[in-house]
Amino acid sequence: MQIEIWSDVVCPWCYIGKRRLESALAGFAHADEVEVVWRSFQLDPTAPSEATESIAAHLGSKYGGGAEAGQEMIDRVSEVAAGEGLAFDYHEAQRASTVDAHRLLHLAHAEGGPRLQGELKERLLASYFTAARNPADHAVLTDAAVGAGLSGERVAAVLGSEEFADDVAADAAQATAYGATGVPFFVVDRTYGVSGAQPSDVLAELLERAWTESQPLVQVVGENGEACGPDGCPI
Amino acid sequence: MQIEIWSDVVCPWCYIGKRRLESALAGFAHADEVEVVWRSFQLDPTAPSEATESIAAHLGSKYGGGAEAGQEMIDRVSEVAAGEGLAFDYHEAQRASTVDAHRLLHLAHAEGGPRLQGELKERLLASYFTAARNPADHAVLTDAAVGAGLSGERVAAVLGSEEFADDVAADAAQATAYGATGVPFFVVDRTYGVSGAQPSDVLAELLERAWTESQPLVQVVGENGEACGPDGCPI
């Protein structure tokens, strides 16, 4: 069973949703047969590659109330995060583009599959939300990527090029095709989707339902009909 | 929506099932969005490439009662077929391998997709069941294939080689993986299967159900959860 999650590394509900999914998976009997793939979604595609303002100031100027209002928004989401065991501390975080982070997530998937990508996703989220590190800074990204297990050389080559930019764009297009307007957006086996950081029991229900339907063919309607087999064509 | 049908060209229930599916599709609102693909299944993989006995004699010696009993089996299935508008007349049909017919069905799919393959499938079934023609005879096969619209040159090249034999074997392996013990075996979107020549209203129900589930993502569980979107991360 495959769970694809459209998500951004600077999206607080995405980190909270990740923990909720992890809780749901912890209680799911077939968790070892579940593959999680992180898909790219840029919440703020116009964010600059060089940080120029704090995220608090940006929120405050976008929604009104100035940096102080921005800090209060961060306070409120940090409280919810604390309830999931996450020590958010990103009052000092800078607004910056996440495209390079997403390109590295694609690199990680290409080089080491879901395990390596999952490790990098966790490190990128932690870097921003618990250490307020700049999500566009190549040194920060390299730290996370090499820490996750990627080769420094490959990371440098990707960061120095446009490699995987197409994949980031393709993920965004797919999210649009699915009607996703926000993230996290969970899709199971390209069949069922749920939007937002649902409570873990709702995610657990999704896992159970999708599991049942992902099982080898079910004869859903009627008895066996007349058929020919190795023993002939009974009538 | 895709319907794959494991089937043999010498399987009477497969031809009857084909008509029943066509009836179901005739009443299905989204029939123009349904693609039918014929998968290979050899009912009698040990049948010789040169015909040596009539199918009636073979049935009679396999199930007892001699050729006469075999003819009676053919009579009974022909009566059912008549109820579907099929004029079966295969009392004189020979037992012979269908592997070459299946290889041509793969050729047809490769060259002209489901439309051309469907045309050839119909001709091969009609050739055996309504004209008792030898299903292994290259002249008979060429007739059907060229009549369906394939190039005589490609047909000759395939019949003179082992081309598509791997595809025939792969189809059989897939049927086994699905637990199919007889044909026809219908699979919709690799999700739902039904075994046997089900009545057309049962097939119609399968189409409706599969259609509903094949539609773009449905949010099956819960309300939207907390999410970050273009308008921020409400809390």
Which of B 203-222 lie inside 8 A of A, CB atoms? 205-206, 209, 213, 216-222
Average pLDDT estimate for A147-171: 97
**Other beta carbons less than 10 A from residue B96's beta carbon:** 24
Do residues B11 and B43 touch, judged by C-beta distance below 8 A? Answer: yes
- Please name the helix (run of DSSP H) or strand (run of DSSP E) that holds residue B218, with its range, or none: strand B218-219
Which of A 148-187 lie inside 8 A of B, CB atoms? 177-179, 181-185, 187
Task: Please give the single-letter amino acid code of residue B89.
Answer: D
Inter-chain CB proximity B198 and A221 less than 8 Å: yes
Dihedral of the alpha carbons of A153, A158, A160, A161, in degrees to the nearest 10: 140
Average pLDDT estimate for B179-184: 86
- Partner B contacted by A60 (CB < 8 A): no
B234: nearest Cα among A63, A179, A7: A63
Residues 6+ apart with CB under 8 A from B161: none
Residue B216 pLDDT level (bands cut at 50, 70, 90): low
Token pair for residue B172? 């059989």
Residue A190: closest CA among chain B residues belongs to which residue?
Answer: B217
CA–CA separation, A17 and B215 (whole Å):
26
For tokens 């001709």, the residue is B123
pLDDT digits (tens, 9 = 90+) for B37-81: 999 999 999 999 999 999 999 989 888 888 999 999 999 999 999
Eight-state DSSP code of residue B33: G
Residue A13: closest CA among chain B residues belongs to which residue?
Answer: B227
For tokens 């004699």, the residue is B57
Residue A221 pLDDT greater than 50, yes or no: no
- What was the pLDDT predicted at A40? 97
Burial of B32 (0-12, 13-18, 19+ CB in 10 A): exposed
B210: nearest Cα among B17, B4, B22, B13: B4
Burial of B17 (0-12, 13-18, 19+ CB in 10 A): buried
For chain B, what is the largest distance between any 2 Cα atoms, rounded to a whole number of angstroms?
Answer: 80
**Contacts by residues A123-128 (CB-CB < 8 Å, ≥ 24 positions apart):** A123/A147, A123/A148, A124/A9, A125/A9, A125/A14, A125/A15, A125/A18, A128/A9, A128/A10, A128/A90, A128/A93
- B229 vs A contacts (CB less than 8 Å): 43, 181-183
Beta bridge partners of A188: A3, A192
Inter-chain CB proximity B217 and A43 less than 8 Å: no
- The string of DSSP codes covering A169-193 is HHHHHHHHHTT--SB-EEEETTTEE
User: Of A34-43, A56-65, A137-146, B225-234, which range is least confident?
Assistant: B225-234
> Is this prediction's ipTM beyond 0.90?
no
- A59 vs B contacts (CB less than 8 Å): 232
CA–CA separation, A194 and A186 (whole Å):
5
- What was the pLDDT predicted at A79? 95
Do residues A198 and A213 touch, judged by C-beta distance below 8 A? Answer: no
Size of interface A-B (CB pairs under 8 A): 171
- Partner B contacted by A14 (CB < 8 A): yes
CA–CA separation, A170 and A141 (whole Å):
22
- Partner A contacted by B65 (CB < 8 A): no
- What was the pLDDT predicted at B232? 74
Inter-chain CB proximity B224 and A195 less than 8 Å: yes
The order of strands in the sheet holding A192-195 is A35-40, A2-7, A185-188, A192-195, B218-219
Angle between helices A152-159 and A138-148 (to 10 degrees): 140
Cα-based angle A189, A150, A106 (whole degrees, multiple of 5): 35
What predicted TM-score, i.e. pTM, was given to this entire model?
0.56
Give me the residue from B77, B187, B194 closest to A225, CB to CB: B194
User: Of A2-16, A189-203, B146-160, which range is least confident?
Assistant: A189-203
- A229 vs B contacts (CB less than 8 Å): 43, 181-183
- Partner A contacted by B80 (CB < 8 A): yes
A11: nearest Cα among B232, B223, B224: B232
